């Protein structure tokens, strides 16, 4: 009965099976077509980008008139001036002044003491998502930071939701830009303390950025979400002198009865805005930079960027930009490509006016530069600002960096600047205030090609899918070949387990991947060495990796493991290649879910070599032009796919740096695991082993 | 000799690996992962149930614990004892490691019995050369035991402190007892397995077949042919005593021995009443047996807990309208029962393989599946390595298993922690996983049938030749 069902199933599936067999038998042809299509689709992405639109109706940005008055601004300016006067005094005092200003607005003020977190090695953080207690062993009194937090309770709210404004502030440096960002936040804060329409509490966090902006925000968020009850470091801090100063600092506020020594909270956060003011002013007009990439290529909801973009452009007349890779703008071929796409678009439009395809060449080049930067920032998996800390708690956050047109020393210009920035911020807060649920309407997975254009997940997946489609096809065709060619057909019932032949090469591939894990773990031990330069660390790392690889080779070559394959197989490399391609396929597909940009860039490096690789010996024996060409191409591709080389290439193309030291790669690796980037895992567990296996096949003695 | 040594070294290695992981997997939080700990198998729920019982409440109050009261008495005291400086639940983990090792040993013994019986049957058919030459590779029993012990699913289920290790042990115990024709042991295993997780109840059919017809053998028709041939031959020529013996053996094979089956059923009755009495004593003040059935079997059958797992039910029953719920409950559970009879008819000469197929189907279609269930059937698959060596798509299947099991935690993370995905993402991997399980069943059954066809061809060819 079952047999009958199976037969029937086979009958039904026949066209699909036929198609599959056709694709597998023409795998090399199909893979060439797929790769070309993938590259074309990737280059077409800026053309296919759609205009952004505000998807959540409740937001209604810009529907109300701005209420921020010049009085608020002059108050804010006073704060800026006060901070500037404090320049030479102790850092505590400036925080005190901020606290006083906050409590002057009837806000609840608290100070949060924290220790900046040291770099920790948590490559599995991505899967576990459980914050362990902070190890307090490495903390000392000198690195104590103090966040100042002011909270306005919403008159119409139930205290269950909040909007967060963050201004990083370094009291030791006390730059004019940071003071101005405080001024902008203060002007809005003072307005919001009076308005009646507020439905969400407003939290203003002045993050102590002495030890980095991100770590201060992260410390506050951690305390906010996962309070630690039995902490040892608090008792430690009592012994420090700093704690005396904080109590001293708090004393003044006790008089107003608005100070509460515990940690204050205000509902779940709907969104967070980080405000910064850039100090360099060599632009033609006031402009606004948006940074959105959080850890592991996560992005905030597109609606948040949309509101800011809408308000900045239509209300405040700011020039808005997202990060771009400037070096790409000068590429001649990109421009030519843009012209080609433009003319194709014109032809398409002349055929049917409704086909809206094609954008101007200059726009195309700009879009490509922005897209490349978007990919590049997401691929490293390192947040581009303090907003990254919020995304770990599923809060949408962006950094707004406002750069003024002229120098900020002039008084009148300053007032005008604060007014503009404050109005933008007010509009955004008012719009988020209208939100009924958390952001969910718009996209989370997108790439920006300009502040008002995006490529959604459905579109940007196409090039990637085209890129990885050849992998299973090639694996299948090689697998079929390998299992066919190795059946000796001695008797009618040959005892050779032909369908399990591949297990042998699977074991090898598995061992190499295990080696990848070991290599990924080495830096954990290396970074504990005292007084070591990045260069020595890198060389040590390389040596250790090579050494462990040799040991693994020896173990693999030992007779115990070779027992099952007594006769050396002729096409062993084919079977290894088939398993390698499968492993690369699984690894890349997994990575595309975790961090798409890493997978895309990694795929561009590893897939050509995975598909092309063939033992050099075979190619050399054939001695035709084609095989020699293939051999050299394989060597070049193999060289390029080596992770440090790939890194250097990426840097040269995207960051436009010339000089290179070996230590730089180490620094990069260190930053990756300090930020718990999944890219680190990808490089260690997927990319490096696949590359090693490709090289193994390349030099296979067949 | 060397092979045997290697076997024990790898068993020891797997145990050591488990202990290393016990000490280092604290931040992996395996025991709260939906793939490993289901509402039925989670040790945390068991600890909660034990705590409730200790404070003289019903262990089932509050819909936390849904397992057997016997497990509470066995594992409950271990959940509260902590050793200073050691990870929590180390003692429970120790129990699970022991359960895994015993299970592997039983699988090995079963494999040896199966292999010996199978080669003697083949000898009867005159197909000596087909039986495994043990010199070349590992015997299938050893292979199956190692597959079971080193399977990442087993290891993860053990580290994740899921009670499925004990359920698996009971299932294997009943199969082992049936293979060795130990009626009390087989009955105990079956009763306990059914008591713990209900679904092994369907193993009654293969166990009865094992007692009735004996171990896995080539199709019975071949023996009838052979016997007819022998009888024809003997009528013409003189019959010596050796041929008489063979003939007797051949005729014995086709007799269903009611005696041992009834023996088994008697023991089943005895054990089940014993278990029920124990449970009712334990739950005397908390609603008795009725409460037990409602909270365990009722919980399994009506699927009130719709928290995500690697099965396919939670998603469907979260979506379905309430007034269709009962109908679909019947349909979904009927699915397993529907496949039982045809499979039993087709594979009745291979009861152990039938048991394997039943286990795969039930672990695919059960209401709260976990990777522990997959661990069991993947281990048992090793028992039939010889018959299934020509299985198709083995590479595809294993890549699929690897891919699906890696994708599942990633999708879960995307949905629950990052908030950028949704339930469909996670359910997608559950569907993929179910598809691969279906392919495994279909391919293994068809490979087994092909093997039978090949045996038939060879045996008839042999008869024609002589």
Q: Quick one: which of B290, B298, B357, B306 has its CA closest to B333?
A: B298
Judged by CB atoms closer than 8 Å, whether chains meet at B442 and A9 is answered as yes
Give the per-residue pLDDT at B242: 56
pLDDT given at position A564: 47
Answer yes or no: is pLDDT of B196 > 80.
Answer: yes
pLDDT averaged over every residue in chain B:
86
pLDDT at A121 over 60: no
User: Chains A and B: how many Cβ contacts under 8 Å?
Assistant: 84
Distance CA B279, CA A126 (A): 43
Of residues A441 and A579, the one with the higher pLDDT is A579
User: What does pLDDT average to over chain A?
Assistant: 81
Q: Is the pLDDT of residue A318 over 80?
A: yes
Place of tokens 């080609």: A340
Q: What angle do CA A136, A140, A145 make, to 5 degrees?
A: 95
Ranking A223-237, A476-490, A683-697 by mean pLDDT, the lowest is A223-237
Query: Which one of B132, B409, B419 makes the best mutation probe of the A interface by having the most chain A beta carbons within 10 Å?
Result: B419
pLDDT category at A489 given cuts 50, 70, 90 is very low
Q: Is the pLDDT reported for residue B229 higher than 60? A: yes
Around Cβ B24, how many Cβ atoms within 10 Å?
11
CA-CA distances (angstroms) from residue B64 to A433, A446, B299? 40, 41, 11
Query: Chain B partners of A498 at a C-beta cutoff of 8 Å?
Result: 389-390
A119 touches chain B (CB under 8 A): no
The helix or strand, by DSSP H or E, that contains position A43, with its residue range, turns out to be helix A27-48
pLDDT of residue A409: 67
What are the CA-CA distances from residue B326 to residues B39, B199, B201, B320, B331 (Å)?
A: 21, 19, 22, 10, 9
DSSP assignment string, A169-187: E-TTT--HHHHHHHHHHHH
pLDDT reading at A358 higher than 80: no
In angstroms, rounded to a whole number, what is the distance separating the alpha carbons of residues A460 and A367?
14
**Whole-number Å distance between alpha carbons of A24 and A334:** 35
Has residue B364 got a pLDDT over 50?
yes
pLDDT at res. A565: 47
CA end-to-end distance (rounded Å), chain B: 39
| Chain A partners within 8 Å of B418 (Cβ) | 298, 394
Residues of B with CB under 8 A from a CB of A: 6, 27-29, 129-130, 133, 136-137, 342-343, 345-346, 389-392, 394-396, 398-399, 402-403, 406-407, 409-411, 413-414, 417-420, 442, 445-446, 449, 454, 458
Establish if A298 touches chain B: CB-CB under 8 angstroms.
Answer: yes
Residue A6 pLDDT:
47
What distance in Å separates the CA atoms of residue B71 and residue B46, rounded to the nearest whole number?
8
The mean per-residue pLDDT over the stretch A137-163 comes to: 77
Structure tokens at B357: 């197929």
Contact check, Cβ <8 Å, A493/B417: no
Number of separate domains in chain B: 1
Cα end-to-end span (Å), chain A: 47
Provide the pLDDT confidence category of residue A236 given band limits of 50, 70 and 90: very low
Residue B442 to residue A6, Cβ atoms within 8 A:
yes
Report d(CA A569, CA A200) in Å as an integer.
Answer: 70
* pLDDT at residue number A657: 67
Domain that includes residue B424, residue range: 2-465
Nearest to A394 among B394, B407, B418 (CB): B418
In A383-436, at which residue ranges do the beta strands (DSSP E only) sit?
396-403
Spatial separation of the C-alpha atoms in residues B211 and A364, rounded to whole Å: 76
Of all residues in chain A, the one with the smallest CA distance to B403 is A586
Check residues B26 and B278 and name the one with the higher pLDDT.
B278
Angle, vertex CA B41, rays to CA B38 and CA B47, nearest 5: 110
Model confidence over B156-180: pLDDT tens digits? 999 888 899 999 999 999 999 999 9
Q: Is the pLDDT of residue B245 over 70?
A: no
Domain boundary assignment for chain A? 57-116+141-323+384-444, 326-381, 467-485+498-698
Percent of chain A with pLDDT over 70: 82
- A57-116+141-323+384-444 adopts what CATH topology? Aminopeptidase (3.40.630)
- Choose the mutation target among B28, B416, B418 for the interface with A, i.e. most A CBs under 10 Å: B418
Q: Are A121 and A524 in contact (CB under 8 A)?
A: yes
Q: What does the pLDDT average to over A276-300?
A: 82
- Asked whether the beta carbons of B71 and B166 are under 8 A apart, the reply is yes
Do B403 and A493 lie within an 8 Å CB cutoff? no
Q: Which residues of B touch A593 (CB under 8 A)?
A: 407, 410-411, 414
Contact A126 B343 (CB under 8 A): no
Inter-chain touch A586–B403, beta carbons under 8 Å: yes
Question: Does residue A560 belong to the interface with chain B, where contact is any CB pair within 8 Å?
Answer: yes
Question: Residue B435 corresponds to which tokens in the numbers above?
Answer: 């598809």
Of residues A353 and B452, more confidently modeled = B452
Higher pLDDT residue, A681 or A487?
A681
> What pLDDT score does B79 carry?
83
A239 pLDDT tier (thresholds 50, 70, 90): very low
pLDDT of residue A681: 87
Measure the CA–CA gap between A87 and A96, rounded to whole angstroms. Answer: 14
A146 touches A246 (CB < 8 A): yes
Query: Which residue carries 């008839």 as its tokens?
Result: B460
Judge contact between B398 and B332, C-beta under 8 A: no
A185-235 pLDDT, tens per residue? Answer: 999 999 998 888 888 999 999 988 888 888 888 889 888 888 776 554 444
Please check whether residue A480 touches B, CB under 8 A.
no
Give the list of residues 6+ apart from residue B183 with CB closer than 8 angstroms, or none: B177, B211, B260, B263, B264, B266, B267
Residue whose C-alpha is closest to residue A424's, from A184, A150, A167: A184
Tell me which residue has tokens 């003697």: B120
Residue of A nearest to B447 (CA): A3
- Mutant choice from A6, A128, A301 vs B, greatest count of B C-beta within 10 A: A128
pLDDT at residue number A142: 59
- Check CB contact of A495 with chain B, cutoff 8 Å: yes
The interface predicted TM-score (ipTM) is: 0.88
pLDDT at A273: 94
Q: Are the Cβ atoms of A590 and B417 closer than 8 angstroms? A: no
Q: Indicate the residue of A6, A128, A298 with minimum beta-carbon distance to B418.
A: A298
**How many Å apart are CA A571 and CA A479, to the nearest integer?**
10
Look up residue A645 and give its two tokens: 């080389």
What order of strands is seen across the sheet that includes strand A50-51?
A50-51, A453-456, A446-450
3-state secondary structure of B271: helix
Q: Which of A479, A502, A593 is opposite residue B411, by nearest beta carbon?
A: A593
Pairing between strand A287-291 and A396-403? antiparallel
d(Cα A261, Cα A247) in Å, to the nearest integer?
Answer: 9
Helix, coil or strand: residue A445: coil
More confidently predicted of B401 and A534: B401
Locate the chain B residue with the closest alpha carbon to A5.
B442
Please give, one letter per residue, the 3-state secondary structure of A421-444: HHHHHHHHHHHHHCCCCCCCCCCC
Percent of chain B surpassing pLDDT 90:
37
pLDDT tens, A558-615? Answer: 554 444 444 455 678 888 899 999 999 999 999 998 889 999 999 999 999 999 888 8
Question: Do A37 and A466 touch, CB atoms closer than 8 A?
Answer: yes
Spatial CA neighbour of A683 closest among A616, A581, A601, A609: A601
Lowest pLDDT segment from A418-427, B221-230, B322-331: B221-230
Report pLDDT digits (tens) over B124-158: 777 767 665 544 567 888 889 999 999 999 999 99
Query: Read out DSSP for A556-615?
Result: HHSHHHHTT--SPPTTHHHHHHHHHHHHHHHHHHHHHHH-HHHHHHHHHHHHHHHHH---
Mean pLDDT of all residues in A436-441 = 83
CB–CB of A88/A173 below 8 Å?
Answer: no
Q: What is the mean pLDDT of residues B77-104?
A: 84
Q: Could you tell me which of A333, A327, A582 has the C-alpha nearest to residue A478?
A: A582
pLDDT at B27: 66
% of chain A exceeding 90 in pLDDT: 20
Task: Summarize the confidence of residues B296-316 as an average pLDDT.
Answer: 90
Decide: residue B302, CB within 10 A, 0-12 exposed, 13-18 middle, 19+ buried.
middle
Residue A40 backbone dihedrals phi, psi, to 5 degrees = -60, -45
Q: Which tokens hold the place of B55?
A: 């404070």
pLDDT (mean) for B29-47: 87
Query: Residue A137 pLDDT > 50, yes or no?
Result: no
pLDDT band at A455 (very low <50, low <70, confident <90, very high): very high
- Quote the minimal CA–CA distance from B407 to chain A in Å: 6
* pLDDT > 80? residue A12: no
Residue B86, pLDDT > 60, answer yes
**Which residues does residue A322 pair with via DSSP β-bridges, in sequence order?**
A290
Distance separating alpha carbons of residues B297 and B98, to the nearest angstrom: 27
CA of B109 vs chain A CAs: smallest distance (Å): 23
Q: Which residues of A touch B399 (CB under 8 A)?
A: 582, 586
CA–CA distance, B46 with B229 (Å, rounded to integer)? 60
Helix axes A662-674, A534-557, angle to 10 degrees: 80
Q: pTM of the entire structure?
A: 0.88
Q: Which helix (H) or strand (E) holds A149?
A: strand A145-152
> Which of A127, A130, A394 shows the shortest C-beta gap to B419?
A394
**pLDDT for position A132:** 44
B431-447 mean pLDDT: 93
**Residue B409 to chain A, least CA–CA distance (Å):** 7
**Degrees, nearest 5: CA angle A614-A619-A620:** 135
Name the CA dihedral angle for B217, B219, B220, B221, rounded to a multiple of 10 degrees: -160
Strands A268-277 and A161-169 turn out to be parallel
Ranking A51-55, A135-139, A192-196, B392-396 by mean pLDDT, the lowest is A135-139
Report helix, strand or coil for A274: strand
Whether residue A502 and residue B394 make contact (CB cut-off 8 A), yes or no, is: yes
Residue A165 three-state SS = strand
The residue among B118, B159, B116 whose CA lies nearest residue B27 is B159
Q: Is A343 on the interface with B (CB under 8 A)?
A: no
Among A230-244, A432-446, A505-519, B427-441, the range scoring the smallest mean pLDDT is A230-244
Task: Write the residue in B396, B399, B417 that is nearest to A586 by C-beta.
Answer: B399
Handedness of CA A349, A354, A357, A358 (dihedral sign): positive
* Residue A146: its H or E element: strand A145-152
Residues of A in contact with B142 (CB under 8 A): none
Return the closest-CA partner of residue B445 out of B357, B331, B341, B355: B357
Which residues of chain A are within 8 Å of residue B391 when distances are taken between CB atoms? 499
Mean of pLDDT values over B393-415: 90
Which tens digits make up the pLDDT trace of A40-85? 999 999 988 888 888 888 888 888 888 888 888 888 888 888 887 7
**Confidence band (pLDDT; 50, 70, 90) for B253?**
low
Band the pLDDT of B107: cuts 50, 70, 90: very high
Of A224-228, A274-278, A327-331, A527-531, where does mean pLDDT reach its minimum?
A527-531
| Helix H or strand E encompassing B452 | helix B423-465
In terms of Cα–Cα distance, which of A579, A18, A504, A127 is closest to B416?
A127
Give chain B positions within 8 Å (CB) of A497.
Answer: 389-390
């Amino acid at each position: 009965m079952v047999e009958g069902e199976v037969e029937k199933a086979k009958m039904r599936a026949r066209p699909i099976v036929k198609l599959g067999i056709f694709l597998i038998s023409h795998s090399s042809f199909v893979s060439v077509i797929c790769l070309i299509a993938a590259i074309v689709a990737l280059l077409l992405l800026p053309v296919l980008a759609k205009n952004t639109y505000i998807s959540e109706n409740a937001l209604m940005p810009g529907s109300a008139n701005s209420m921020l008055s010049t009085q608020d601004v002059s108050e804010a300016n006073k704060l800026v001036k006060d901070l500037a006067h404090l320049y030479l005094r102790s850092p505590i005092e400036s925080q005190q002044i901020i606290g006083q200003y906050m409590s002057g607005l009837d806000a609840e003020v608290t100070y949060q003491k924290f220790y900046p977190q040291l770099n920790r090695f948590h490559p599995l953080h991505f899967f576990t998502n459980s914050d362990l207690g902070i190890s307090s062993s490495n903390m000392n009194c000198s690195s104590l930071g103090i966040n100042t937090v002011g909270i306005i309770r919403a008159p119409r709210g139930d205290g269950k939701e909040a909007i967060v404004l963050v201004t990083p502030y370094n009291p030791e440096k006390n730059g004019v830009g940071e003071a101005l960002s405080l001024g902008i936040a203060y002007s809005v804060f003072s307005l919001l303390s009076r308005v009646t329409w507020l439905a969400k509490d407003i939290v203003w966090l002045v993050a102590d950025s002495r030890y980095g902006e991100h770590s201060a925000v992260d410390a506050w968020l951690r305390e906010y979400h996962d309070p630690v009850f039995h902490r040892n470091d608090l008792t430690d801090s009592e012994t420090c002198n700093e704690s005396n100063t904080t109590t001293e600092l708090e004393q003044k506020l006790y008089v107003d009865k608005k100070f509460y020594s515990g940690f204050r909270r205000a509902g779940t956060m709907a969104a967070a805005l980080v405000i910064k003011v850039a100090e360099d002013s060599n632009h033609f007009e006031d402009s606004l930079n948006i940074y959105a990439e959080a850890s592991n290529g996560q992005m905030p909801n597109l609606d948040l960027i949309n509101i800011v973009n809408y308000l900045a452009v239509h209300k405040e007349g700011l020039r808005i930009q997202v990060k771009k890779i400037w070096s790409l703008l000068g590429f001649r071929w990109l421009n030519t490509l843009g012209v080609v796409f433009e003319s194709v678009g014109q032809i398409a439009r002349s055929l049917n006016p409704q086909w809206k395809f094609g954008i101007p060449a200059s726009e195309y080049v700009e879009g490509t530069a922005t897209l490349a930067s978007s990919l590049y920032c997401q691929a490293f998996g390192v947040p581009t600002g303090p907003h990254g800390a919020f995304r770990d708690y599923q809060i949408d956050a962006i950094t707004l960096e406002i750069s003024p047109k002229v120098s900020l020393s002039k008084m009148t210009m300053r007032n005008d600047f604060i007014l503009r920035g404050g109005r933008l911020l007010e509009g955004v807060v008012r719009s988020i205030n209208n939100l009924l649920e958390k952001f969910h309407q718009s996209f989370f997975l997108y790439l920006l090609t300009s502040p008002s254009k995006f490529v959604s997940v459905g579109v940007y997946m196409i090039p990637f899918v085209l890129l990885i489609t050849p992998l299973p096809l090639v694996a299948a065709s090689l697998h079929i070949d390998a299992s066919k060619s190795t059946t000796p057909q001695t008797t009618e019932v040959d005892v050779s387990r032909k369908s399990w032949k591949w297990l042998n090469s699977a074991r090898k591939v598995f061992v190499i991947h295990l080696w990848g894990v070991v290599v990924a773990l080495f830096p954990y031990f290396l970074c504990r060495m005292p007084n070591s330069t990045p260069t020595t660390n890198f060389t040590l790392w390389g040596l250790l990796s090579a050494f462990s690889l040799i040991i693994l080779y020896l173990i693999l070559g030992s007779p115990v493991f070779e027992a099952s394959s007594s006769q050396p197989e002729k096409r062993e490399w084919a079977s290894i290649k088939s398993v390698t391609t499968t492993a690369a396929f699984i690894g890349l597909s997994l990575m595309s879910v975790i961090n798409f940009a890493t997978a895309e860039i990694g795929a561009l490096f590893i897939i050509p070599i995975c598909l092309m690789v063939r033992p050099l010996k075979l190619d050399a024996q054939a001695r035709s032009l084609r095989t020699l060409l293939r051999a050299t191409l394989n060597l070049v591709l193999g060289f390029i796919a080596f992770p440090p080389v790939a890194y250097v290439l990426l840097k040269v193309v995207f960051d436009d740096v010339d000089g290179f030291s070996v230590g730089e790669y180490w620094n990069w690796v260190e930053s990756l695991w300090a930020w718990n980037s999944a890219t680190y895992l990808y490089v260690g567990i997927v990319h490096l082993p696949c590359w090693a296996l490709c090289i193994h096949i390349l030099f296979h003695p067949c | 000799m060397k092979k045997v040594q290697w076997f024990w070294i790898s068993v020891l290695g797997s145990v050591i690996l488990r202990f290393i992981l016990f000490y280092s997997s604290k931040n992996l939080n395996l025991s709260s992962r939906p793939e490993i700990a289901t509402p039925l198998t989670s040790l945390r729920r068991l600890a909660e149930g034990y705590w409730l019982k200790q404070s003289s409440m019903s262990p089932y109050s509050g819909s936390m614990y849904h397992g057997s009261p016997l497990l509470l008495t066995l594992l409950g005291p271990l959940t509260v004892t902590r050793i200073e400086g050691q990870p929590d639940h180390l003692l429970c983990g120790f129990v699970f490691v022991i359960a895994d090792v015993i299970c592997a040993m039983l699988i090995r013994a079963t494999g040896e019995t199966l292999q010996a019986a199978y080669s003697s049957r083949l000898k009867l058919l005159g197909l000596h050369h087909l039986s495994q030459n043990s010199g070349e590779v590992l015997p299938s029993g050893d292979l199956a035991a190692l597959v079971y012990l080193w399977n990442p699913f087993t290891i993860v289920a053990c580290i994740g402190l899921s009670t499925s290790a004990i359920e698996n042990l009971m299932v294997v115990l009943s199969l082992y007892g049936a293979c060795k024709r130990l009626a009390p042991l087989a009955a105990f295993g079956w009763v306990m397995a059914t008591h713990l997780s209900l679904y092994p109840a369907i193993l009654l059919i293969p166990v009865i077949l094992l007692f009735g017809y004996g171990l896995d053998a080539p199709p019975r028709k071949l023996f009838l042919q052979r016997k007819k041939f022998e009888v024809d031959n003997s009528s013409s020529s003189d019959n010596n005593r050796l041929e008489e013996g063979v003939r007797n053996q051949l005729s014995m094979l086709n007799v269903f021995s009611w005696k041992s089956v009834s023996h088994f059923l008697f023991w089943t009755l005895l054990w089940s009443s014993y278990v029920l009495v124990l449970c009712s004593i334990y739950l005397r003040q908390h609603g008795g047996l009725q409460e037990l059935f409602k909270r365990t079997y009722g919980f399994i059958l009506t699927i009130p807990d719709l928290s995500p797992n690697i099965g396919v039910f939670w998603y469907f029953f979260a979506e379905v309208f309430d007034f269709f719920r009962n109908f679909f409950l019947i349909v979904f559970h009927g699915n397993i029962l529907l496949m039982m009879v045809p499979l039993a008819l087709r594979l009745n000469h291979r009861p152990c393989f039938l048991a394997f197929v039943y286990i795969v189907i039930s672990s695919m279609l059960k209401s709260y599946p976990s990777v522990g269930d997959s661990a069991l059937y993947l281990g048992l698959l090793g028992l039939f390595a010889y018959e299934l060596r020509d299985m198709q798509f083995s590479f595809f299947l294993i890549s699929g298993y690897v891919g699906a099991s890696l994708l599942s935690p990633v999708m879960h993370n995307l949905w629950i922690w990052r908030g950028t995905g949704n339930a469909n993402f996670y359910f997608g991997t559950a569907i993929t996983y179910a598809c691969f399980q279906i392919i495994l069943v279909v391919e293994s059954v068809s490979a087994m049938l092909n093997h039978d066809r090949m045996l038939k061809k060879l045996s008839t060819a042999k008869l024609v030749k002589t």
